[in-house]
Chain A
Amino acid sequence: MKTDEVPQDSENSTYGGARKLIYAVDDSGGVVGVKSTGWDVEAEATQSALTLIQRQCDQAWQRVSSGETAALEYYMYYRRMDVALLAQVSGFFQWRIRRHFKPAVFNKLKLKQLNRYAEALGLDASVLSHLPDQPLHDTDNSSK
């Protein structure tokens, strides 16, 4: 790739305004670092992964608000995790996590268990049982 062929697709970029360094060939045949504002191909792949996460998050929010599952499941997707990852991070077996998703079971969880989830998700234990008014998608870190 020549330096002037380095993609600068800033419009749909998923770099959040930042630029990535890519090595390319300059006029004299040397290889130099060039800053790229984005590449559509990459942005689409990232975006489709993000859309999937967002959909899971929204669906979980719906199920929580209709009482089918505990808010814990929503917060898991909110933190861009799935059951497998939450199991690794929290140390609970996957089947236990799925069981804890049942609202009746969740409401009986001990504070110690809640704290393990809180730690894994980087949220306050008190937050875990409260569903926000609408599904949030940002990964705001302030409530850690």
Chain B
Amino acid sequence: MTLITQVNNNATFQHRQSAHCESGVVANMLNHCGLPLSEPMAFGLAGGLAFAYLPFIKLSGMPLIAYRMPPRSIIKGVQKRLNIKMKFETFRNPEKGMQSLNEQLEQGRVVGLQASVFWLPYFPETMRFHFNAHNLLVYGRQGDDYLISDPVFEEPVVCDSKALQKARFAKGALASKGMMYYPTDVPESFDLKLASQRAIRANYRTMTGAPVPIIGIRGIRYMAKNIIKLSQNPKKREAYLPHYLSHIVRMQEEIGTGGAGFRFIYGAFLKETAAKLDNSLLAEAAEIILDAGDDWRMFALMSSKMCKGRKPMDAFLLAEILNRCADKEQKMWTLLKRY
């Protein structure tokens, strides 16, 4: 173990684009601190894959559908599995929050922040919605501008202090309260076999063993059933169903990384681990989840076509695709149980 007080020079910070913000920040941060880690590794070792259909949490009247574990669980998961010590801080006073960030930057640290997408000026107009749990990494400061490695962007970006403060302290659901985090103790290496076994086992439990029918693989089937139910309801068939489907697609593809996207990241994690440990079972599981990801994309494509009237509405076909995703994910987890 090396105690990190004075980290590498900021000039050497390496920005790598990622598919997902949280796994990207964690991977880039640990890389900077001397522990090489890819984004899929961070995602997989945190056991980030999930599915949850939450009808009682409404987003403009529609259910919340999540394709991964809730925000912050990747940071916490990686911290636990790789035996890293992280410091988390939230602030009641925004000025103090900014001051504390400056102090850490002056010490040469890179600092992870949770912030609202809407108030970050470098986001394109079309992507700015009120989502408070976006993650980014600050690696330096030039005058009033913060140098930011936002993992979903191709290149590093900058943000002035006023906007950054607003984004960090935006209120509402999942409000970050200026949350910032940085590692204080990072090991030079870790036991991949052990870490991956624990992560996969924990992820297996969330996907197959939840005590409620709306979480994990049963949740996917629940959503499929619900689509059929809506198509048989004369009051909801015409206007509500297309709206509902386009909401699912939006939750799946646009908000962050996408439901299929997470399947591909998990597949990448399994492939990478399989290659490093020379394990054929993991390689086989990777193929199955990558295949399931393709079905998720197919579902989005079909839904989109049916909503726009380019294809006749066929709820049974949509449900069938979803059940196929569920079957494949089930098959993968059954296989991974033996790992």
Q: Are A31 and B267 in contact, with the CB atoms below 8 A?
A: yes
B80: A residues at CB distance < 8 A: none
CB distance from B278 to the nearest CB of A (A): 15
A23: B residues at CB distance < 8 A: 19, 40, 261, 264-265, 267-268
Contact residue among A16, A42, A80 (Cβ-Cβ distance under 8 Å from B254): A42
Q: Apart from A14-B124, A49-B254, A50-B126, what 7 extra A-B contacts exist at CB < 8 Å?
A: A15-B127, A16-B125, A22-B264, A23-B268, A39-B253, A44-B246, A120-B171
Q: Are A19 and B154 in contact, with the CB atoms below 8 A?
A: yes
- One of A62-70, A81-89, A96-104, A126-134 contacting the partner: A81-89
Residue tally, chain A, CB below 8 Å to B: 42
Most chain A beta carbons < 10 A, residue from B172, B173, B275: B172
Query: Is the C-beta of A27 less than 8 angstroms from some C-beta in chain B?
Result: no
Q: How far is the CA of A66 from the CA of B239 in the complex (A)?
A: 30
A50: B residues at CB distance < 8 A: 126
Which residues of chain B (56-77) have a CB below 8 Å from chain A? 60
Q: Are A139 and B172 in contact, with the CB atoms below 8 A?
A: no
CB distance from B159 to the nearest CB of A (A): 10
**Contact string against B for A residues 104-116, beta-carbon threshold 8 Å, 1 for contact and 0 otherwise:** 0000000000000
Which residues of chain A (1-53) have a CB below 8 Å from chain B? 1, 14-25, 30-31, 33, 35, 39-42, 44-50
Query: Is the C-beta of B258 less than 8 angstroms from some C-beta in chain A?
Result: yes
Q: How far is the CA of A41 from the CA of B315 in the complex (A)?
A: 18
Q: Are A24 and B253 in contact, with the CB atoms below 8 A?
A: no
- One of B98-106, B162-170, B195-203 contacting the partner: B162-170
A30: B residues at CB distance < 8 A: 271, 275
Q: Are B154 and A18 in contact, with the CB atoms below 8 A?
A: yes
Say yes or no: A21-B152 contact (C-beta < 8 A), given A15-B126, A45-B304: yes
CB distance from A22 to the nearest CB of B (A): 6
Query: Is the C-beta of B293 less than 8 angstroms from some C-beta in chain A?
Result: yes
